Amino acid sequence: MQVYEAPLRDMKFVLHELHQDDGFGNLEALAEFTPDLVDAVLEEAAKVAQEVLLPLNRGGDIEGCTLENGVVRTPSGFKEAYDLFREGGWCALASDPEWGGQGLPESVNKMTEEMICSTNLAFSLYPGLTHGGTTAIEGYASDELKKLYLPKMVEGTWSGTMCLTEAHCGTDLGMLRTKAVPQEDGSYRITGGKIFISAGEHDLTENIVHLVLARLAGAPEGVKGISLFLVPKYLPKEDGTPGPANGVSVAAIEHKMGLKASATCQLNFEDSTGWLVGNPNKGMEAMFKMMNTERVSVGIQGLGVGEAAYQSAVWYARERLQGRSLSGVKNPKGPADPIIVHPDVRRMLMTMRAYNEGCRAISAWVSRALDAEKHSADPEVKQRASDFVALMTPVVKALFTDLGFESANLAVQVYGGHGYIAESGVEQYVRDARIAMIYEGTNGIQALDLVGRKLPAHMGRNLRSFFHPVSRFIEANKENEAFKPMIEALEKAFGALQLSTATIAQKGMADPEEGAAAATDYLRLTGLVAMGYCFAKAAMIAQGRLAEGTGEAAFYQAKLATARFYFDRILSQATAAFLAIKSGKASMMALAEEAF
């Protein structure tokens, strides 16, 4: 059964208590967003997620999207839910007030995104892609395009997509064939086909704004010859309302493993009118503005599904009677005890809980950096925040989605046979979560980005934004007897990360395949250390609140228990990752290609 109650208390904890010493300082530009205001926003978002989106989730998966006469219809209730969502201002939550947005902190926006993804991941893609599109337009488009398109997109009347992939090329965008031909009026004619376009066609908005990668005649080969174009489904009339169709058609909608209520389309552009965004042959720079925004959001998708799967598993574990507790009967009036009494079920539930709380803590930390990168008046803080965001973006995308998928699978295991059948609703989480490890750059690509780009950038400066606070925390708390086991475990994992960094830097310079062979394990190790740092801080805060005699003893006791489980049962994965990295590429690359 799909059950969900927004984890508001934990969200408030990571926003208001956990990261007050993150080094990004108080941001005066966001001073009006007080904790009380933030909490009110989160509580209202929870109502929308729980009362409007959750009831549509399973039905939307069963019904799916349909293509009729070139028009894609979303499942029953989606249009009404989207209208309510848009009218409530949720599309514009974190957007710039200049274009009609509410300008809320990104840290608040990410918590709202998590709730939406937990209750209806398919629905989340429609407004989510639009928000990503506005970042690229705002950062690179002409003032004329901004004024025409951003207000409509920010309010959600028009939606957005990113059109990258073509049938013959996936991640290797340098092979794309879509063409752009300049016109005398400054526009371009765009011709080509794109696949895997999320929200490429639907009935939720009055217009759809496609950001399309294409190649100009005579452009350099590869990614250095790609340009970005804004191509609307309907050409706007002089009054700003949608006008004639613009040669954008749907060839098909993809038949997918999951996310069936999200329209993933094959699109054809046939002499469609478009406008250049950014400079010619510099399209990847502009598109990466959107892609990096989306990569953090995709990480939040993994967290959202993981939380929903966890809560559904807890509900079932409390309700399902099977067997007797090994320590004595716990339900003497019933024929059996609830399965939540069994150690292996507890192992699965605690693993899911720790993954979710750890990812949420990292999410709040990265979101604080996103806010500081945008709003800090201190150039040094701004740079440090930018470095941290660059380093952690691939970690958030890959780690969160890996763990979200693992949590979804664990939920099915808790349900047993009932989890494998559709009626339970939890098998949908497995199917929906799987794509998050693939799109916006596969998790293997994220690991290569971390090792190949983010580590060596600026002579390793990005790493300092992460290593320095962790190192200072360990040094400051080494003598804290109450938390000595946690600090020692964190120090050991952090040491493994430092040694792994040096190993990759040394071997990778001589042989790039060595760095690539270590990349996935290195990304996981980085994430494990980041989680460990957050859990150690959280445990110390929780202990302090309990010592003060807080009225929320149950919450802080649970936080301590989850932190202890993380250090006892999960952080040990750091040792395995370190040993894998240390082993190098030899056994990975030894088997002859024809022997596979």
Return phi, psi of residue 159, to 5°: -115, 175
Rg of the Cα atoms in the chain: 24
Which DSSP category does 511 fall into?
A: -
| Cβ partners under 8 Å of residue 430, min gap 6 | 258, 405, 408, 409, 411, 412
Return phi, psi of residue 388, to 5°: -65, -40
Tell me the β-bridge partners of 228. 213, 277
For residues 126 and 151, what is the distance between their CA atoms, to the nearest angstrom? 17
- Quickly list H helices, 269-342: 283-319
* Active-site hit among 166, 440, 491, 514: 440
Give the tokens for residue 25.
Answer: 């300082």
Do the Cβ atoms of 571 and 489 come closer than 8 Å? yes
Known catalytic membership, residue 548: no
| Cβ partners under 8 Å of residue 499, min gap 6 | 578
3-class secondary structure, 465: helix
Residue with tokens 């990569």: 295
For residues 73 and 65, what is the distance between their CA atoms, to the nearest angstrom? 6
Which among 96, 562, 84 has a CA at the least distance from the CA of 350? 562
For residues 586 and 227, what is the distance between their CA atoms, to the nearest angstrom? 40
Do the Cβ atoms of 106 and 61 come closer than 8 Å? no
CB contact burial 33-63 (16+ within 10 A = b; e otherwise): beeeebbebbeebbebbbebbbebbbebbeb
Return phi, psi of residue 108, to 5°: -75, -40
Do the Cβ atoms of 403 and 531 come closer than 8 Å? no
Residue with tokens 């709730």: 115
Task: Please state the length of the chain.
Answer: 596
User: Is the alpha carbon torsion for 174, 178, 181, 187 positive or negative?
Assistant: negative
Rounded to the nearest angstrom, the gap between the alpha carbon of residue 318 and the centroid of all alpha carbons in its chain is 30
Which among 116, 1, 10 has a CA at the least distance from the CA of 364? 10
For residues 93 and 536, what is the distance between their CA atoms, to the nearest angstrom? 32
| Cβ partners under 8 Å of residue 250, min gap 6 | 67, 70, 71, 72, 200, 201, 265, 266, 267, 268
Write out the catalytic residue numbers. 440
